[in-house]
Amino acid sequence: MLSDVTTPQDLDDRFRETLAALPAPAQRRDLADPVTDDAPLTGAQLLDLFDAQVTSRQLDLAGRWLRSFGEGFYTIGSSGHEGNAAVAAALRPTDPALLHYRSGAFYCVRAAQVAADAPTPPAADAPTPPADAPTSPAADAPDPDSEPEPAGSEAPVGGFVPYAEAARDVLRGMVASSEEPIAGGRHKVFGRADLAVVPTTSTIASHLPRAVGMGLAVERLRRLDTAGRRTGTGVRVGSGAGAAHVPWPPDAIVVCSFGDASVNHASATAAFNTAGWYDHAGLRIPVLFVCEDNGLGISVRSPEGWVEATLRAKPGIRYFSADGADPAGTYAVTQEAAAWVRRYRRPAVLHLRTIRLMGHAGADAESAYRSPAELAEDLDRDPVAATARLLVDAGVATAEELLARYDETGWQVRRLAEEVLGEPKLASAADVVSALAPRRPVRVARAVADAAARASGPGAAAREEAFGGKPPELSGPMTLAQSINAALADGLLDHPQMAVFGEDVAVKGGVYGVTKGLRDRFGAARVFDTLLDETSVLGLGLGAGLAGMLPVPEIQYLAYLHNAEDQLRGEAATMQFFSRGAFRNPMVVRVAGLAYQQGFGGHFHNDNSVAVLRDVPGLVIAVPARPDDAAPMLRTCLASAAVDGSVCVFLEPIALYHTRDLYADGDGEWLAGYPEPGSWVAGHVPIGRARVYRIGSADDLTIITFGNGVRMSLRAAAALAEEGVGTRVVDLRWLAPLPVADIIRESSATGRVLVVDETRRSGGVGEGVIAALVDAGYVGAARRVAGVDSFVPLGPAARHVLVSPEAITDGARTLLAR
């Protein structure tokens, strides 16, 4: 009897009924023979897939059992999607995989492949094995040195052992065990570095742009002609600070699975479009997308034929289709698709038709939107039962033998579930955040020192050539934009795997000229233009970083970031957190932003909102105001990305790009010389350290600010100095992490603090500064001058909502009058 949802009992009962109704095979088949005359799988290989599917099914049943008494915390299962076991079997275990959350059977097969240290069954582009070929190491095959079992012998009972480790991994995730191998109890994800399974924490398509970036990077690294690049199964590329160990072989392909409802997500559209765009342009991206189509997004149906029509219509992406209830057919089609992607290095999509059993999750009452007839129809299409039926029809096993394997696996899974219940959980906030964003400032400083030594030593000749015989330190005073440009060039010289990319950054050199000349110096493979889509720009960076590169993507304007910010929040910042550092996506995202552009306005080009960035745990946010800060801060970000895998946002104040003067026209006080490599160590700027300017006695007032506020505050301090007021101006430089120690020290020195915040009063940086003062027990006077809670309008009207020099001076005088 079906209840509100297809329950574990329903599923178990129907499976047993199905097997009980199967007739005995007419004759037994040798395990080494194909299951049918034209099948690509032997009996042993199909039996392996059955065991993986059963393990996945029993894990789902165990998850519901654990949840029934409050010890399980995750019930989104893989039941109905077990056909993806054949997908995993047709791929190589060294093909990196970003898996949908219904990938239990895929994960089991991948774990068994790696444990056996040999592909099982044959690789995607390998021929079907002959009948006398050795069976999969994961199968219960006879000893190859002994006499083969005669046809008609009984299939061995119990095939759980090859999948026991994978089952324990999954169960540990369900109970939030701190011993879970990838996330350590932080989330239930499919992931393990040694399995080349990259954890995806929100599989509503947000991982697809990363998959495209991984494919682009894998292909780029494959084409590199670098001596000594092969190291085992991975690739070691470059030397010095930019050396990267690429964990996948040169001919690897990327596999990325997702659900049918995700086809409609903007991130999926961006990924498909980017893959097709690059393919049309002649660049190769070896990605196999796998759409597991059960027809439902929780309760919302995918219209009949919509998913196929959508996937077939994607330009530049080849379409393949398979039925997840046909393991032999799914394996054959996946073989074909993987071989095509591997050979041509081009993207393809496998449309795998599946069903969903037991609802979306434990709390989902399907009766609210599905009829009993629909639920019964899905039970009739159970892929595990379909595999059992094929095994019995082929004479590989009897129904009784398969049921015995099913029950043995169920008992073993329940036993493991009881074992992991006693494992420790994360015990403190420190335990939870330990993997979030490691900071090793001494190593970062050492990396900067090493870069300086290379630039002035063995790399000096190459550096001089790259700068056309005139290194930037000999070019005289520079603007902010020029300093960033020179620092990017030095970064490209020192980090062989660094790449600069974004809209208009290559041929044009950026809309503000910040990347001008870099493409000519370093080539189109390292400095290149992307299509106009910020989600894809960041996705390329995420995938490239994961593949061993050091990506420096540019977002053309801060306002353009907002349609893609989940790539930073949900994908970039979570990678180390949910993999305990086993995977990382080092990245320095350059963003032109903030307000005060003259003659070029509107909120899209004068966006003063950074709240969404400051809210992302672990993200580094740098805001260089002056040319002499820009270069060392960028070097720090690059070193931190390379050393710690940091995700850094380098927010560049547009209005200061080409500013030359500070106090009066023609004074050149906002220009600065570029430091020669010998001074990089002395000028190193650690993450989270402010810069302090002292004007006059510096005893009367502390102004805390950043970005454009630094220039305005210095001008205000000069005016106050004429009135006998001594001011210290604190340039935060880092908005995350805030330089709290510097804030407290400089505020306590005067007892009067004016926070000049060019962002908005609500959600602005100033709130964080004031909170830091309160938390530290600051007892002096404090006041804020901040932007109005408004978008920035066009033209002169902008002055009404932005911080002005006059407002700073007035705020200072109010404080001084207390």
Number of H helices, E strands in the chain: 26, 23
CA 540/CA 527 separation, integer angstroms:
13
The token pair that represents 793 in the structure block: 């309008």
CB 217 within 8 A of CB 547: yes
User: Across 392-512, where does the E strand assignment appear?
Assistant: 498-502
User: Across 477-622, where does the E strand assignment appear?
Assistant: 498-502, 527-529, 550-555, 587-593, 620-622
* DSSP state letter for 360: S
Contact partners, residue 9, CB within 8 Å, separation at least 6: none
CB 646 within 8 A of CB 596: no
Q: Which of 206, 205, 207 is nearest to 197 (CA)?
A: 207
CA 247/CA 124 separation, integer angstroms:
20
CA 41/CA 122 separation, integer angstroms:
9
- Burial call 203-223: b when 16+ CB within 10 Å, e when fewer: bbbbbbbbbbbbbbbbbbbbe
* Sign of the CA dihedral with 703 first, then 706, 711, and 712 last: negative
* Active-site option among 534, 554, 571, 652: 534
Q: Which of 543, 481, 513, 570 is nearest to 221 (CA)?
A: 543
Contact partners, residue 745, CB within 8 Å, separation at least 6: none
The token pair that represents 197 in the structure block: 């399974």
CA 286/CA 214 separation, integer angstroms:
9
Contact partners, residue 481, CB within 8 Å, separation at least 6: 512, 513, 514, 657, 658
Q: Which of 622, 285, 734 is nearest to 742 (CA)?
A: 734
Residue type, 7: T
Phi, psi for residue 290 in degrees, rounded to 5: -125, 110
Helix (H) or strand (E) holding 288: strand 287-293
CB 568 within 8 A of CB 589: yes
CA 441/CA 453 separation, integer angstroms:
18
CA 317/CA 208 separation, integer angstroms:
14
Phi, psi for residue 255 in degrees, rounded to 5: -115, 135
Helix (H), strand (E), coil (C) string for 223-260: HCCCCCCEECCEEEECCHHHCEEECCCCCCCEEEEEEH
Strand-pair category, 498-502 with 527-529: parallel
At residue 179, the 3 state secondary structure works out as: coil
At residue 602, the 3 state secondary structure works out as: coil
Active site residue 360: no
Active site residue 351: no
CA 431/CA 423 separation, integer angstroms:
15
Q: How far is CA 670 from its chain centroid?
A: 38
Residue with tokens 């006695």: 697
Alpha helices in 83-201 (DSSP H): 84-90, 104-116, 164-174
CA 131/CA 135 separation, integer angstroms:
9
The token pair that represents 485 in the structure block: 């440009």
- Cα-Cα end-to-end distance for the chain: 78
* Active-site option among 81, 351, 605, 684: 605
Q: Tell me which residues are annotated as active site.
A: 534, 605
